[in-house]
Amino acid sequence: MAARRARRSSSSPSRPDGADTPRSPRRWAWPGWSLAGLALVGAVVGSGALALVWPKPDRSVALREEVTAATLAPKPRDSITVLVIGSDADTLSGATNRAAPAGPPNSDTLLLVRVNREGPLQVLQLPSELALSLPGRPEPVALGEVYRQGGVQLTREVVRELLDLKDEAPERFIVVPRQALRTLVDGVGGVEVSPPRRMAYKDNSLGYTIDLQSGLQRLSGAKVEQMVRFRDKWLGESGRRANQQVVLQGLREQMTQPGQLAQLPALVSTWSSQVDTNLTPREMLSLLASALDKPGPMQIQTLPLKPATKEFGPLRQLEASAPRPLWPKP
């Protein structure tokens, strides 16, 4: 027994008073940092398991794919002609033109845009001051007043007869009020153009001012609106059409920039609610893709007019020697 006590005393620590120290039961205690680490591991494993069920999209794919005009949207299989009616009302619901002279909205800009499957983008400017004879009207009226008289339908019929187009052309139309023009320009980050001259005009009754300097600059939507509305007292409507050509070229150039192409689907979705058209947003994007995916500049033409006469006043007649057809068929 003495030997057993000796072995016990040599293997167990002794208290200072000589009494044996009782053996404590073993406890499974985790330090605080270990609990946090276990929770973190569980969260990582759990999120990994959920990712197998609902995998997140690989955002790097979208970043690697460069949007180009060719990949923006499927292109139309055939050539499409669109009648663009630039309304001088501020919005589609505007009952007046808020222009001079005041009255119902007019079409102060008329364009035929042909988006060809093959070949360049073609634009025909239709002079708003062109004199026309309408049934039941003893006096000639300006082409720009036709929209006021009979809306889109009458305008399409008059343009179709004037240019001897096939029955279904123009297949599509877009009525663009001034608000929609501003939205389009601002949506692509402005347009870099060079106004050919100083443009200044003020109408106190309408509260409208045009104030543009000449030279290369980037114009906002409001400034572009001023440029296309400005009417030089010497150049008249032909000066307006020249300004429109500059804006059209600058707008197309801006849209073809790589950073802008990716924004066009969202812009088209917003813009479609501000215009009157028989194009769906998907068709708009398809036409844009085809129009922008052209290597050369757009072809812009206008109808030749006779000089002004006292008989017709501000109205102009079509030049009789103008080549036929007035607009080549696709």
User: At 80, which helix (H) or strand (E)?
Assistant: strand 80-87
- pLDDT of 99 reads 63
Structure tokens at 317: 């007649």
- pLDDT of 54 reads 36
Q: What is the CB neighbour count within 10 angstroms for residue 242?
A: 14
Is residue 43 situated within a structural domain? Answer: no
Backbone φ, ψ for residue 151 (5° rounding): 70, -155
Q: Which sign, positive or negative, has the C-alpha torsion 83, 84, 89, 93?
A: positive
Structure tokens at 208: 């409208």
Is residue 232 situated within a structural domain? Answer: no
Backbone φ, ψ for residue 306 (5° rounding): -75, 160
Q: What are the angstrom distances between the C-alpha of 15 and each of 5, 9, 12, 20, 239?
A: 15, 11, 10, 6, 111
- As a whole number, mean pLDDT of residues 92-101 equals 69
pLDDT top residue among 43 and 294 = 294
Domain count, the chain: 1
3-state SS, 270-291, equals HHCCCCEECCCHHHHHHHHHHH
Structure tokens at 230: 């400005």
**DSSP letter assigned to residue 116:** -
What is the domain-level CATH number for residue 173?
3.30.420.590
pTM of the shown model: 0.78
Within a 13 Å sphere around the CA of 13, how many CA atoms are in the beta-carbon half? 6
pLDDT top residue among 55 and 253 = 253
Structure tokens at 238: 């032909």
Structure tokens at 185: 């320009």
Is residue 12 situated within a structural domain? Answer: no
List Cβ neighbours of 274 (8 Å cut-off, separation of 6 or more). 91, 92, 177, 179, 180, 183
Residue 122 has pLDDT above 90, yes or no: yes
- pLDDT of 15 reads 45
Q: Which sign, positive or negative, has the C-alpha torsion 282, 224, 157, 120?
A: negative
Is residue 119 situated within a structural domain? Answer: yes
- As a whole number, mean pLDDT of residues 107-136 equals 92
The conformational region for residue 60 under phi > 0 = left, psi -120 to 50 = alpha, else beta, is alpha
Query: Cβ-count burial of 285 within 10 angstroms (0-12 exposed, 13-18 middle, 19+ buried)?
Result: buried
List the domain range (segments joined by +) for residue 172.
Answer: 69-178+259-302
Is residue 248 situated within a structural domain? Answer: no
Residue 166 has pLDDT above 90, yes or no: no
d(Cα 265, Cα 283) in Å, to the nearest integer? 11
What's the helix, strand, coil split of the chain in %, to 5? Answer: 40, 20, 45
